[in-house]
Structure 1
Amino acid sequence: MPIRGCLLKCSISLGVAMNLPRRPGIKAYGWLSRLHVVARGSSRTRITNLNCCAPHPLREDIRQAVAHMGTAKLQNPPLIEVIFEIRWDLQEREDGVRFDPHAKIFPGRLSSALGEEYPVYEELPTSDIPDEISGYIVQHRFRRAKGSWPLVQVGPGIVTLNDIESYEWQDFQRRIEGVLDALFQEYPDTSLLATNEVVLRYLDAYPFDFEKENVAEFLSAKLGVQNQISPAFFEAIGVSPVPIGVDFKYSFPSQRPPGYLHVGFSRGRVKGRDSVIGETIVQSPETDGPRTKDEILSWVSEAHALTHTWFFTMIEGDLLEEFACRR
């Protein structure tokens, strides 16, 4: 079903993140560009012959199509990127520095294991970062072909799998399993491979004119997100109550899968257009998270189901009709 991510460890533009491949024409402002980023996508059902694209209440034919969104694809999805990320514990030296003792040799072994599917290697500029501060920063990238997606990235204590608009969940899920096979088979000392975080992130773009429209009203009317400030705050102070930007996130505990759901929105530009950038992240708990390959695959499957339900509930109405229509 449709779904979408990327977070940064320092204040740099989205697409230049330590673990986010550069994407032409995409720039984010605010919390999305300050966190450690990953993006998102989905497996979406093909909805055809709806004669939609006109503003009216969500019809039963679309509602029924959404209920079976497991095999095909939205015609006009908002997806920018989807990212699966896994991290494992770093070791600590006597001086307190945390490091991955196999950070130098593991990328080569991972490349050999994934070479048939991702034969093109890229050394990232971050590979020059000193070992003392390189933990959880991707430094190497493997692609299917030059400039193509999906791709795999690796660094000390971290591996990511990234895909963009063409993403389909069943294919992405298969690729996650392949990455996990390579990780658990090729990491030199599996006794040190204690996973501490698994993340599934989706990043979406909703074109929006911040100069002519009220983003708070858009979020409320189109996405069901209530985040407005009382007009009383603006009375007699000479400040317009219509925002020209947006930058916030919510975090919620999740039971299935165990962990957290993070949902945020910010202002950004995608393909030269101002947009509301939405990010949905499912993150495993700090302790007692999935450890084995089977546990991780089960957790990711539940994380995908959660984001799928969240996404379609959020866009139900005009946006779903827009995304379901062929342009």
Structure 2
Amino acid sequence: MAKKAGPKKKKVLDRLPNAPLAEVVFELRWKLQGALPIITDPGIHPLLAAFTPRAAKAGFPLIKDMARPEEIVGHSVCRRYFTAPDASFPILQIGPGVFASNQSSEYTWASFRAQTLRGLKILLDSYPTLQGFPFEPVHLELRYIDVFDESLLNTLDFLEFANAGTHLSLQVSESLFPTGVFESQSEGRVQIQRPLKRGGLFLVDLASAQLNVPNGKTALRLESKVMLRDNIPKFRGARFLSQVEEWLESAHNVTSPFFKRFMRPAVLEKFN
């Protein structure tokens, strides 16, 4: 007798279903040749030639060149890779001394991690072996960008939003800005950074912002990220990829719970 099918399990998201996430980015940078203001990546042209067909096989067949490698500063993107003509995300990006993996608001951690590690392996397989110029990673970064519009708390006043929507407490004496002289709405920016006990740096940046949309719509932008610039794992093939995967998990274990601690419970409930 055939067994009866049990009730379908609900899919559990590893993100808030209505989160204000605009973009999540992983970035790897490697050492360049020379000194400021002239630093170059002698491997960039062979890298692009080898990376592009491999990216296409991995599901990123469309490219968009942002600039020629010689025309941009080091650690800037010169080529982006897309999955389809009408898809803005996900993206893989390459430039002199930099690789990035991006997803947008529809992201899940599992899919983003898989995309990032897949793109990173393509990078490591594609970067040429150059005499006198070994591939040397110098920077790892995982960052999240959230955008809040006026509908969330019916205000874009920086002080009101920070105090009502987050666990920041910003007190400014009213005597500093008399109403007869100043408009009522404030704009502002707060940056806080803290070293991590296991190495690296955590940075949070809340700021008034202009969105890249027609008429320059205003919003509040939150960026939270983990960076590692010292004690980067040495590049040793598969072992390096495994170490980056471990770092990604540890960085995500910092950024993900931080957002839930940063926002007040009533605001978090709106994202559910």
Structure 1 residue aligned with 2:167: 224
- Using structure 1 for the length normalisation, give the TM-score: 0.69
Task: Report SS of the residue matched to 1:104.
Answer: helix
Structure 1 residue aligned with 2:93: 153
Question: For 1:87, which of 19, 24, 29 is the aligned residue?
Answer: 29
CA contact (8 A) 1:290 1:299 kept: no
How far does residue 127 in structure 1 lie from its aligned partner after superposition?
2.0
Q: Give a deviation string over 1:147-202, Cα, whole Å, max 9, x none.
A: 32211010000010011011000111111111221122221127621110011111
Cα distance in 1 for residues equivalent to 2:176 and 2:16? 41
Percent of aligned positions that are identical: 23
Q: After the TM superposition, which residues 134-283 of structure 1 pair with which residues of structure 2 at under 5 Å, given as runs?
A: 134-148=73-87, 149-189=89-129, 192-208=134-150, 214-234=157-177, 238-239=181-182, 242-256=184-198, 258-269=199-210, 274-283=218-227
Task: Report SS of the residue matched to 2:124.
Answer: helix
Amino acid at match of 1:219: A
1:305 counterpart = 2:246: no
Task: Report SS of the residue matched to 2:101.
Answer: strand
CA contact (8 A) 1:137 1:155 kept: yes
Question: For 2:55, which of 114, 123, 127 is the aligned residue?
Answer: 114
CA contact (8 A) 1:110 1:186 kept: yes
- The RMSD of aligned alpha carbons is 2.8
Q: Give a deviation string over 1:195-253, Cα, whole Å, max 9, x none.
A: 1001111111111279966421221221112233333433699345x443223322221
CA contact (8 A) 1:121 1:140 kept: no
Task: Report SS of the residue matched to 2:205.
Answer: strand
Amino acid at match of 2:221: I
Asked which structure has the greater CA Rg, the reply is: 2
Task: Report SS of the residue matched to 1:105.
Answer: helix
Q: Classify 1:192/1:230 alpha carbon distance in 2 versus 1 (closer, same or farther; 3 Å).
A: farther
Q: Give a deviation string over 1:117-170, Cα, whole Å, max 9, x none.
A: 23433232322653xx53111111111111322110100000100110110001
Structure 1 residue aligned with 2:262: 314
Aligned length: 251
Cα distance in 2 for residues equivalent to 1:303 and 1:222? 24
CA contact (8 A) 1:251 1:263 kept: yes
Cα distance in 2 for residues equivalent to 1:153 and 1:314? 30
- Using structure 2 for the length normalisation, give the TM-score: 0.81
